[in-house]
Amino acid sequence: MVLKIAERGVIPPFIVMDVMRAANERAASGKDVLHLEVGQPSTSAPSAVIEAAKIALDQDLLGYTDALGVPPLRERLAVYYKEYYNVTVPTERIIITTGSSGAFMLSFLAVFEHGDKVGLTSPSYPAYRNILRALGVEVVDIPVGPATDFQPSVEILENLDKKLDGLIIASPSNPTGSMLSGEALKGIVEWCDASAVRLISDEIYHRITYKEKANTALSYGNDAIIVNSFSKYFSMTGWRLGWMVVPENLIRASECLAQNLFISPPTLSQLATISVFDCFDELDKNVARYAENRALLLEKLPKAGLDKLAPSDGAFYVYADVTRFTNDSQAFCKKILSETGVAITPGIDFDTERGSQFVRFSFAGATADMAEAANRLGSFLA
């Protein structure tokens, strides 16, 4: 007798994690690997955070916290919003989560019912789509491309053939690094408010930008749910800590869900993270390195024949059209890893319809690795 598997568990894999596993297996066999597949900083957490973690360990302060997070961290985030965005956010609306993944789970459960329709741009972060489908939410793909810098617009939203219950946006986005201007973001916020569409704004790549500062949806209204993370700019990926800002009427629902699903966010990470707001000089040096890596790839990739690139105005990604070489990006990435040791991610992870024509490069690693990877790719594609 074979016991069933719930339909919600039969969702596509997060392919980048499969690529990382293959890269790690290659490394374990003694072969070299250049990691351009995973979207995580190659730097450790800031030194002050590590020291704060040691103190918390020595003092044995690691019991459960409030489900919404420790008050000092929530209070410091409220100050941060005023300092960086000039936006006033009451501490009560800030919820600490187990990574941005925990924030997405809480927000999706709090506002979407089974059968609701939620719009996602294609390409976009695959976990949005897969979590929503596991929850029985219908995903409405919104194809975007060079004409709109791989971002949605009010015009596109108005011409959808389905009425949305929700919309998820990301600026800067994963995988393209594209951004919404302040005017474009304001228009989308206002359209969502007027159309009774719940907006969730993924802002986890804020402060990693190369031309203009990213705008928060909070600048244009109070009804959007904001998701952010300490993983990217703050360089704390494995600490599994994020946050969300919710409208006042969602605080209690989010708290009850958090109590039952997570009990509380990781205590050690919370106590240590309060110190991260003293580390902007150190963190901005990481962004300067990303900028150098970005410039290197934007110069080298076109010379290798990859000259159709999405705007890489933020985050640490280059999204490249590979139709000159293949229409099967997954097989293409496997071949590149096997023959060059360069690990990159197939676009099929981010766009189920057109992703076979694209690949994503992450340039969050060391500059020397980016240079070597570009040289190997140039020789491979010549």
Q: Report, in this order, helix, strand and coil percent for the chain, each rounded to 5.
A: 45, 15, 40
Distance separating alpha carbons of residues 216 and 225, to the nearest angstrom: 11
Residue 15 pLDDT: 80
The model's pTM is 0.94
With b meaning 16 or more CB within 10 Å and e meaning fewer, what string describes 218-234? Answer: bebebbbbbbbbbbbbb
Residue 382 pLDDT: 83
Is the pLDDT confidence value at 11 over 80?
no
Is the pLDDT confidence value at 10 over 80?
no
Is the pLDDT confidence value at 1 over 80?
no
DSSP H or E segment with residue 193: helix 182-195
CATH fold of the domain at 47-277: Aspartate Aminotransferase; domain 2 (3.40.640)
Is the pLDDT confidence value at 142 over 90?
yes
- The percentage of the chain sitting over the pLDDT mark of 70, rounded to a whole number, equals 100
Q: Render pLDDT for 25-67 as a digit per residue (tens, 0 to 9).
A: 988 999 999 999 988 898 999 999 999 999 999 988 889 999 9
Tokens of 124: 């976009």
Segments making up each domain of the chain, as ranges: 7-44+280-381, 47-277
Residues with Cβ within 8 Å of residue 320, at least 6 apart in sequence = 301, 306, 308, 309, 310, 358, 359, 360, 361
> Same CATH topology for 7-44+280-381 and 47-277?
yes
CATH fold of the domain at 7-44+280-381: Aspartate Aminotransferase; domain 2 (3.40.640)
Cβ 227 vs Cβ 200: under 8 Å: yes
